[in-house]
């Protein structure tokens, strides 16, 4: 015999409510449960997982911690990370995201834009110029503590950079939305060659890499940043308006850092770390300058793919 209709409806409604409840319970919202800065976690991650970047480590830790703990930031945090490829710029951005958002890089409040992937066509610049500010506005109004990462910043069209400038500035609010809790991270290779030159000079003078200080690199950075007429980023007034809070240099990585990356990669792939395997792999990579072979050409970037051939 079939149960009476009201019972069927009642059971159905109950199940629906339960499904809805469990769905909402797992749904990421802009609150403390999902967004919770782990200061110790970030410190530990940067100290133990980021190799060979003592200058960047210090600047980033101070900048991010200071900003998130400040009750009343006057503007959003804007970091500009510079250095050659594979030196950890994306990686450190991930570490930041992982220590703020429970859902890490998958969080709905973390937005990664890659110039060549998201804004590839010069002809569509007028569309991008409307879209991007709209995305930023829309997302920050949903969650003030949003993180925006722009990879390949030096390949972004100057007009597109201009279109996001208001959001980086000292405004109390723009049309009712305040951007002062947001974090913007720009990644680029700009200045990479000058940073390499400084590191190489230290090496040739027989000085320790760890002696390199931010001030040794600041001239190198600002020279390339202001004088490089080829990269769009610098045409804009981002810099003269002081919208960037910190320029962060990433040093080229040496053989010993490649070893560290290799060992970490083996562990993360579930193998026992094997120094001989990693050294064999590291020796087969390319280093520059040609005679001295001090720095890895591609940093740690190719290691995940390369290692597979050696284990």
Our CB check for ligand ADP shows the closer of 180 and 301 to be 301
Residue 247 CA to its chain's centroid (Å):
13
Query: Which residues are documented as binding site?
Result: 83-90
Q: Where are the alpha helices (DSSP H) in the chain?
A: 5-26, 39-49, 54-69, 89-98, 115-118, 125-142, 158-168, 192-204, 214-227, 255-268, 275-283, 303-307
CB neighbours of residue 181 within 10 Å: 16
Binding segment (CB under 6 A) for ligand NAG, from list 40-48, 132-140, 223-231, 246-254 = 132-140
Residue in this structure with the two tokens 């403390």, named with its chain if needed? 32
Q: What region does 115 belong to: left with phi over 0, alpha with psi -120 to 50, or beta? A: alpha
Task: Verify cis geometry, omega within 30 degrees of 0, for the bond prior to 65.
Answer: no
CB neighbours of residue 121 within 10 Å: 9
Kindly state whether residue 111 participates in binding ligand NAG, applying the rule CB under 6 A: yes
Our CB check for ligand ADP shows the closer of 249 and 299 to be 299
Report, in Å, the least distance between residue 223 CB and ligand ADP. Answer: 20
Our CB check for ligand NAG shows the closer of 127 and 286 to be 127
CA-nearest of 264, 270, 269 to 300 is: 264
The answer to whether 245 and 64 have CB atoms below 8 angstroms apart is no
Task: Select from ligand NAG, ligand ADP, none the partner in contact with residue 50, using the beta carbon and a kind-dependent cut-off of 5 to 8 Å.
Answer: ligand ADP
Our CB check for ligand NAG shows the closer of 61 and 100 to be 100
Report, in Å, the least distance between residue 108 CB and ligand NAG. Answer: 8
Kindly state whether residue 139 participates in binding ligand NAG, applying the rule CB under 6 A: yes
Reduce the DSSP state of residue 170 to 3 states and report it: coil
- The residue number whose beta carbon is nearest to ligand ADP equals 88
Task: Select from ligand ADP, ligand NAG, none the partner in contact with residue 163, using the beta carbon and a kind-dependent cut-off of 5 to 8 Å.
Answer: none
Report, in Å, the least distance between residue 189 CB and ligand ADP. Answer: 8
Binding site for ligand ADP (CB under 6 A): 49-53, 85-91, 187, 261, 299-301
Report, in Å, the least distance between residue 134 CB and ligand ADP. Answer: 27
Kindly state whether residue 66 participates in binding ligand NAG, applying the rule CB under 6 A: no
Of 37, 41, 129, 135, the one binding ligand NAG (CB under 6 A) is 135
The answer to whether 199 and 209 have CB atoms below 8 angstroms apart is yes
CB neighbours of residue 240 within 10 Å: 8
Task: Select from ligand ADP, ligand NAG, none the partner in contact with residue 51, using the beta carbon and a kind-dependent cut-off of 5 to 8 Å.
Answer: ligand ADP
- The residue number whose beta carbon is nearest to ligand NAG equals 138
Q: Residue 250: beta bridge partners? A: 83
Kindly state whether residue 209 participates in binding ligand NAG, applying the rule CB under 6 A: no
Euclidean distance between CA atoms 81 and 187, whole angstroms: 5
Our CB check for ligand ADP shows the closer of 167 and 250 to be 250
Euclidean distance between CA atoms 157 and 160, whole angstroms: 5
- Positions touching ligand NAG (CB under 6 A) are 111, 134-135, 138-139, 142
């Amino acid at each position: 015999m079939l149960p009476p209709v009201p019972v069927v409806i009642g059971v159905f409604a109950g199940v629906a409510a339960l499904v809805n409840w469990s769905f909402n319970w797992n749904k990421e919202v802009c609150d403390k449960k999902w967004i919770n800065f782990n200061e110790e976690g970030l410190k530990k991650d940067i100290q133990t997982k980021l190799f060979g970047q003592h200058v960047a480590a210090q600047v980033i830790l101070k900048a991010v911690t200071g900003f998130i703990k400040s009750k009343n930031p006057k503007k959003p945090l804007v970091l500009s990370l510079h250095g050659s490829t594979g030196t950890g710029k994306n990686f450190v951005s991930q570490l930041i995201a992982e220590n703020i958002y429970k859902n890490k890089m998958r969080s709905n409040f973390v937005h990664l834009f890659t110039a060549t992937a998201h804004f590839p066509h010069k002809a569509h610049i007028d569309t991008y110029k409307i879209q991007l500010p709209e995305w930023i506005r829309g997302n920050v109004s949903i969650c003030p503590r949003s993180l925006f990462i722009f990879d390949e910043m030096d390949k972004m069209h100057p007009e597109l950079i201009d279109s996001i400038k208001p959001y980086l500035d000292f405004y109390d609010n723009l049309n009712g939305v305040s951007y002062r809790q947001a974090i913007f991270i720009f990644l680029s290779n700009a200045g990479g060659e000058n940073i390499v030159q400084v590191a190489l000079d230290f090496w040739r003078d027989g000085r320790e890499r760890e002696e390199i200080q931010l001030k040794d690199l600041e001239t190198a950075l600002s020279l390339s940043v202001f004088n490089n007429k080829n990269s769009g980023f610098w045409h804009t007034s981002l810099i003269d308006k002081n919208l960037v809070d910190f320029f962060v240099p990433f040093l080229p990585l040496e053989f010993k850092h490649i070893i560290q990356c290799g060992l970490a990669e083996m562990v993360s792939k579930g193998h026992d770390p094997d120094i001989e395997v990693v050294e064999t792999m590291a020796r087969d990579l390319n280093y520059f300058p040609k005679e001295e072979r001090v720095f890895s050409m591609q940093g740690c970037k190719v290691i995940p793919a390369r290692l597979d051939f050696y284990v």
